[in-house]
């Protein structure tokens, strides 16, 4: 049995991955971490909400303490990282959010995984 942390799991791609994984590997533990920004929609995950091995956490990958606690508490052995700013038109008007999430957030998640 695997224990997955899926970041950005409420977005379009992340939610589809969550549905796929739970259907194919129903015994695996699936923990979704999502900040629920413009791209994340909790309704995308409603069909799996009652699955016994599923947990949703509303939080940000830039939160080091949260990431460390989730990885340890859930005994995560696999990270699937979908959390990202990805809308090109938004990057033109607000590039700081892209650096913040895509670079700093990913770096924070990697540091947490090393703990």
* pLDDT tens profile 34-93: 999 888 999 999 999 999 999 999 999 999 999 999 999 999 999 999 987 776 666 677
Residue 83 CB partners (closer than 8 Å, separation 6+) = 7, 8, 11, 14, 33, 34, 35, 61, 101, 105, 109
Whether the model clears a pTM of 0.75, i.e. scores above it, the answer is: yes
């Amino acid at each position: 049995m695997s224990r997955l942390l899926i970041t950005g799991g409420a977005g379009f791609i992340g939610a589809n991955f969550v549905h796929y994984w739970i259907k194919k590997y129903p015994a695996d533990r699936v923990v979704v971490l999502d900040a629920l920004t413009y791209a994340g929609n909790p309704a995308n995950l409603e069909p799996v909400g009652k699955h016994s091995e599923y947990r949703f956490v509303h939080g940000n990958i830039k939160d080091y303490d949260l990431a460390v606690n989730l990885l340890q508490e859930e005994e995560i052995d696999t990270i699937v990282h979908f959390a990202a700013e990805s809308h090109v038109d938004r990057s033109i008007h607000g590039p700081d959010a892209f650096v913040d999430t895509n670079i700093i957030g990913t770096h924070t998640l990697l540091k947490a995984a090393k703990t």
